[in-house]
A and B are shown apart, each in its own frame.
Chain A
């Protein structure tokens, strides 16, 4: 190649490239429709395969699953209940904790930061065991003995990491509001409390909704963790059903059904989250 003014085409240049645009990134938890269809296919195939393995005279696979369905549905309802309650508790505790993280008082800020980091970076299962073992199985309220069932203890255990994640969501959302908003409100003589409640937080709610819904979906698929500590939710009941049937060919169909159930519940949430994110991104 000639020096001087080279032909444009032969000049070895680094063409401009762009890393994936951050605005288009999908939410962290995004089960796709094809994943759901694959699950359904796995379920159908496994039922077929199990049928083929069944010995003569044994009840049909689908009929067996159908027999257990009401019980499993009951267990799944408990999963949903745990996820609702843990989300509610986690949000109720996490939102104020997040506000403490932006406090002007250094001890409050440091304390809430520590609590947030501690629960955010601990494995969920470890927190679950902690709660199961450390919380009493009953408390005495005004002379009455009130039992704390295992599912409630494990719900509290799950709500702790939710709390920490909500806390971070709040802190991040407040930080993401341009500084000019504070300055303009300051110049109009709003107090710090007014600025936070009337100007900053209303804008944060919109920004926080998609990641908050995403967190809920993650929490929901984490609820089977409670089976490890003996809560009678869908996972535990599936295992019980399999034990009482004592037919190994049922294993894959039953667990596939459980996966399908979680997908059917979480997929709409994930779609709604993505839709909201898209709408807010345009603004």
Chain B
């Protein structure tokens, strides 16, 4: 089960998002989004395609700069020109829909690269950690394989291990199972659920409603750049009030 019971809402949230606006050209993708994520909390963001879910995640680790509003990650204002991106990004790991493993590096090298070259950690020590992480995502024996030799689900788990190698405090998952075969979706979801159970703070954009319901402490429904409705999974899935949410859920469930 998720550690929802242990979350103390009275603490300052680890991620504080307030009235965030973002436009790409003339298209306003985020129109004033606000949400908080406490330490150890798992939130899921669901909603129709193009509702700004992925953009919201990318704003949290400054892959996408925001136009207006504020995002504070562990006391660090992301929308600050003097932002120390390295400091922010070693704290926030991200996993993508398309895995984005580096194809010219083996699974082990993919996991080791950032700690060795970005954090300048000792290669021997990083290697030991990388092997542990690869074992943790159940890919023991695949260390020397290149991404092209692994299945989608295996690549995605290497990508999770790669992010974890930076010892992040927050993990962002951007539709990580959307590009996978139905059979391999489960192995990735199991890995994410284990992380959540260990107390990792997670922000998950997903279309897997069953998974969201099981793993999330809080669910946010976005549509056309705003959060339409949010709540604990139980209330959200059974007692959604907004007609847009209800329509979306009726199409999906």
The interface of chain A, by Cβ under 8 A from chain B, is 178, 180-181, 183-190, 194, 198-199, 202-203, 206, 283
Contacts of B163 in A (CB 8 A): 187-188
- CB within 8 Å for A198 and B117 given contacts A187-B93, A189-B89, A189-B166: yes
For A183, the closest partner residue in chain B by CB is: B63
* Cβ contact within 8 Å between A190 and B100: no
Who on chain B is nearest to A190 by CB?
Answer: B118
Cβ contact within 8 Å between B104 and A184:
no
Pairs A-B, 8 closest by C-beta atoms: A184-B100, A189-B89, A180-B100, A188-B114, A187-B94, A189-B86, A189-B118, A180-B98
Given contacts A194-B118, A198-B113, A202-B104, A188 and B89 within 8 Å (CB-CB): yes
B102 within 8 A of A: yes
The residues of B with any CB-CB pair to A shorter than 8 Å are: 61, 63, 85-86, 89-90, 92-94, 96, 98, 100-104, 113-114, 117-118, 148, 159, 162-163, 166
> Does more than half of chain A's interface fall in helix, strand or loop, or is it mixed?
helix
A186 to B94, CA, bound (A): 10
Secondary structure class of chain B's binding surface, majority of residues: mixed
The residue of chain A having its C-beta at the shortest distance from the C-beta of B88 within the complex is: A189
Q: Report Cα–Cα, A87/B90, bound state, in Å.
A: 43
Query: Chain A residues near B117 (CB, 8 Å)?
Result: 190, 194, 198
Complex interface: chain B residues within 8 A of A203 (CB): 102-104
Nearest residue, chain B, Cβ from A182: B100
CB < 8 Å: which of A188, A202, A283 contacts B162? A188
Tell me, rounded to whole Å, the shortest Cβ–Cβ distance linking B177 to chain A: 16
Task: Decide: B104 and A190 in contact? CB cutoff 8 A.
Answer: no
9 contacting pairs across A/B (C-beta < 8 A): A180-B98, A183-B100, A185-B102, A188-B89, A188-B114, A188-B162, A190-B114, A194-B118, A198-B113
Contact A199 B118 (CB under 8 A): no
In the complex, what's the smallest C-beta–C-beta distance from B103 to chain A, in angstroms?
Answer: 7
Contact of B96 with A180 in the complex, beta carbons under 8 Å: yes
Cβ-closest chain B residue relative to A194: B117
Which of A180, A188, A199, A206 has the most B CB atoms < 10 Å from its CB? A188
A188 touches B113 (CB 8 A): yes
Across the interface, which residues of A come within 8 angstroms of B86, CB to CB?
189
Chain A residue with Cβ nearest B98: A180
Q: Is the CB of A189 within 8 A of B103?
A: no
CB distance from A184 to the nearest CB of B (A): 4
Besides the contacts A183-B96, A185-B102, A198-B117, what 13 more A-B pairs have beta carbons closer than 8 Å? Answer: A181-B102, A183-B63, A184-B100, A187-B89, A187-B92, A187-B93, A188-B162, A188-B166, A189-B89, A189-B90, A189-B114, A202-B104, A203-B104
Residues in chain A near residue B159, CB distance under 8 A: 184
Determine the distance from Cα of A51 to Cα of B14 in the docked complex, in whole angstroms: 92
A283 to B118, CA, bound (A): 29
B83 to chain A, nearest CB (A): 12
Chain B residues lying within 8 Å of A190, measured Cβ to Cβ, are 114, 117-118
Residue pair A178, B61 in contact (C-beta under 8 Å): no
For B63, list chain A residues within 8 Å (CB): 183, 186-187
B117 vs chain A, min Cβ distance (A): 6
**Complex: A206 Cα to B148 Cα, angstroms:** 15
In the assembled complex, the Cα of A181 lies from the Cα of B110 at a distance in Å of: 12
Report the Cα distance A188→B161, complex, angstroms: 12
- Give Cα distance in the complex from A187 to B98, angstroms: 14
In whole Å, how far is A182's beta carbon from the nearest beta carbon of chain B?
A: 9
